[in-house]
Amino acid sequence: MSIDDLFKKIASGSVQTAGKPEYIVAGLGNPGREYEETRHNAGFLAIDFVAEKLGVKINRAKYNALCAEVKIGDKNVLLMKPQTYMNLSGTSICEAAAFYKIPTDRILVLCDDITQNPGKLRIRKSGSAGGHNGLKNIIEYGGSDKFPRIRMGVGAKPTPEYDLAAWVTGKLSAEDKKAIAARFADIEKAIPLILSSEMEKAMCLYNG
């Protein structure tokens, strides 16, 4: 398709362009090649999958994050990958939310969950951080835990004595990565339901 054809399609309304973001969908993780495909970066992996399906790349540097503006259904959405490292995820996400005047309950977070086996999803409307430092920082800076999240199982520590930081920043095995990636299509389907306030439907269809 030529650039002229693309402009014609945009003018005719057959291609949707994103307006001012009304929602944020943020995938949590740590920046840097050394953290690629680690357990803590499940959120990055999932949101990259969603962006690819939407035909965009999350590569615009803004709000201490990599961002992309998209339409999901009829919603204007800012996709985010905070580059502040996991424990300061809230500083980035809440900066963007404040700029666009997006309330906390319109921030959807994708993150890892060590309390669930790889391939399991837990979609929740709100709740505590549950020991997750990224969620904890968002709650701290946003002043509320009333935001939806999709938590992806990455597996528990092999022993209680195993260092937690070493576990979450450890590489996913090929088997675990395959199990997690197998749910990305479900996450993609759940997101528009959650943004449209159909949380119960999303939970019924994709939890577990």
Calpha distance 112→189 (Å, rounded): 18
Catalytic residue (one of 27, 28, 35, 40): 40
- The pair of structure tokens assigned to 71 is 């339409």
CA distances from 121 to 31, 94, 133, 160 (A): 23, 25, 18, 23
Calpha distance 61→81 (Å, rounded): 10
Calpha distance 189→176 (Å, rounded): 21
Segment (H or E) for 159: none
Query: Whose CA is closest to 146, among 104, 186, 91?
Result: 104
Residue 132 is among the residues annotated as catalytic for this protein:
no
CB within 8 Å of 23: residues ≥ 6 apart: 72, 75, 76, 77, 78, 102, 106, 107, 108, 195
CB within 8 Å of 5: residues ≥ 6 apart: none
Backbone angles phi, psi at 85, to 5 degrees: 75, 150
Q: Which residues are catalytic?
A: 40
